[in-house]
Amino acid sequence: MAVLEKAAGNETLLEVENLKKYFLAKKGMLSSQTAWLKAVDDVSFNINKGETLGLVGESGCGKTTIGRTILHLYEPTSGTVKFKGRKIDKHSIKTLRRHMQIIFQDPFASLNPRMTVGDIIGEPLDIHNLAKTKNERKDRILALLEMVGLNPEHANRYPHEFSGGQRQRIGIARALAVEPEFIVCDEPISALDVSIQAQVINMLEDLQQELGLTYLFIAHDLSVVKHISDRVGVMYLGKLVELSPSGKLYKNPLHPYTKALLSAIPVPDPNLSRSRKRIILEGDIPSPINPPSGCRFRTRCPHAKPICAEAEPVLKELEKDHFCACHLFDS
Ligand code: SF4
C-alpha cells in the first residue's frame, strides 16, 4: 500500500485498494464455455480532495469498469474502495451515492427522451428529498441550468431538441443536482465535436474551482486529460502501469506503453513534430480473458526481454510520486 500513502499530498478523499473486477464471459463467439474476464486486476490508487486524476488507456483496458466499480454500479470481485475513510459496499452506497456522481460518455443515451430537461435535473432532487417545496425545486433546477450555461426556458424542452454539447451540459447539471463532492467523468467529451470539447472541459474546470469538486476523469487519449488532470494513471489490460503528476508524465514518461501513447499525440509545432519519433505498437490489445503471462504489455512491447514473460512487474515509485510497473527499471 506504499503507492497509496506516498502519492497522497493533501486530504485523501478516495482510496482504491487492490481492486479487482472480473466478469464471467464466453471464451469465444462460438463457444459455450465461460471464463473470467479480468477487466480490472489488482489496481490501487487514491484521489485527493479537489484534485483531478486522469485515467487513460485504449478501449477495453478497464478504465470505465474502475469508474463504475468505485461507484458500486458494479460489485467489486475483491479489494476495497473507501470514500472519506468509509468503505463503499452495498449498504453504505445508499447514503454515499449522493456524494458520488457520474457523467456518462453518451449524453443522449443517458437522458430519458420522454422527460423534460427540468424533470431530468429534478429527478435526483426528488430521489434524495432535497427540495422541500415545488418552488424550491424549480429554483434549484433553474440555478443548475444557469451553472452549466443553459437558459431557464430550456427546462421545458426534451433532450432531442439539444445539440450534443448541450445534452452533456444537461448531464452535468443532473450530476450536480445533489451537490456531490466526487464525480466520475467517464469519457465526457469523446462523443462531442472537437470544437465543443474545450468548452465542456473549461466548464468542468470552472465548476471544480467553484464547488470544490474532485474528479476521476476517464479518457482514451492522453491529450484530452493533459490540461485537466493533476495526476494521470495509465492503464493497460486491467492493470495500472504508470501513475504520475501530469507534468512529469508528459515530460518524462517511463513506461513503454505511455511513451507509445504520447508519441501518437499530434504536436502543433511542425519542427517538433518532424523531430519526434512516432512509436507504432504492433498487434492488437490481447483478450483480458487470457492475458499474456508476466507483463501484460509484453506481446506489443519493443523492449520485452525474457523476464517480462516470467514475472509480473510491480508498480514502484521510481521518482518522487512517479510510479511505473516495468522490468526495465529493476535494479
Ligand atoms: Fe516492456 Fe518488459 Fe517493461 Fe513490460 S516489463 S513494459 S514487456 S520492458
Tens of pLDDT, residues 187-231: 999 888 888 999 999 999 999 999 999 999 999 888 889 889 999
pLDDT for residue 180 is more than 70: yes
Report the residue count for the chain.
331
Over residues 305-327, mean pLDDT: 97
3-class DSSP state for residue 90?
coil
Q: What angle do CA 164, 129, 104 make, to 5 degrees?
A: 25
* d(CA 156, ligand 1 centre) in Å: 55
CA pair distance 115, 137, nearest whole angstrom: 16
Alpha carbons within 13 angstroms on the beta-carbon side of residue 72 total: 18
**Phi/psi at 326 (nearest 5 deg)?**
-160, 135
First to last CA, the chain: 21
Q: Strands 12-26 and 239-245, how do they pair? A: unpaired
Point out the ligand 1 atom lying closest to the alpha carbon of residue 256: 6
* d(CA 265, ligand 1 centre) in Å: 22
CA pair distance 324, 180, nearest whole angstrom: 32
H/E stretch holding 138 reads helix 134-147
Among 258, 282, 298, the mutation site with the greatest number of ligand 1 atoms within 8 A of its Cβ is: 298
Residue type for position 125 = L
- What is the residue-averaged pLDDT of the chain? 91
**Which band of pLDDT confidence, cut at 50, 70 and 90, is reported for residue 3?**
very low
pLDDT for residue 2 is more than 50: no
What does DSSP assign to residue 2?
H
47, burial (CB in 10 Å: exposed 0-12, middle 13-18, buried 19+): buried
Q: In sequence order, what are the beta bridge partners of 231?
A: 53, 245
pLDDT for residue 275 is more than 80: no
Q: In sequence order, what are the beta bridge partners of 53?
A: 216, 231
* Residues 52 and 215 sit within 8 Å (Cβ to Cβ): yes
CA pair distance 44, 20, nearest whole angstrom: 10
Instruction: Name all residues whose Cβ lies below 6 A of ligand 1.
Output: 256, 295, 297-298, 301, 303-304, 308, 313, 326-328
> Which grid cell is 28?
469465444
What does DSSP assign to residue 309?
H
* d(CA 66, ligand 1 centre) in Å: 23
Per-residue pLDDT at 7: 44
pLDDT for residue 277 is more than 90: no
Over residues 130-146, mean pLDDT: 96
* d(CA 234, ligand 1 centre) in Å: 14
Among 234, 255, 296, 308, the mutation site with the greatest number of ligand 1 atoms within 8 A of its Cβ is: 308
* d(CA 169, ligand 1 centre) in Å: 41
Residue type for position 49 = K
CA pair distance 42, 214, nearest whole angstrom: 23
**Which band of pLDDT confidence, cut at 50, 70 and 90, is reported for residue 272?**
low
123, burial (CB in 10 Å: exposed 0-12, middle 13-18, buried 19+): middle
H/E stretch holding 200 reads helix 194-211
> Which grid cell is 48?
485527493
Residue type for position 255 = H
Cβ neighbors of 9 (< 8 A, separation 6 or more) are 48, 321
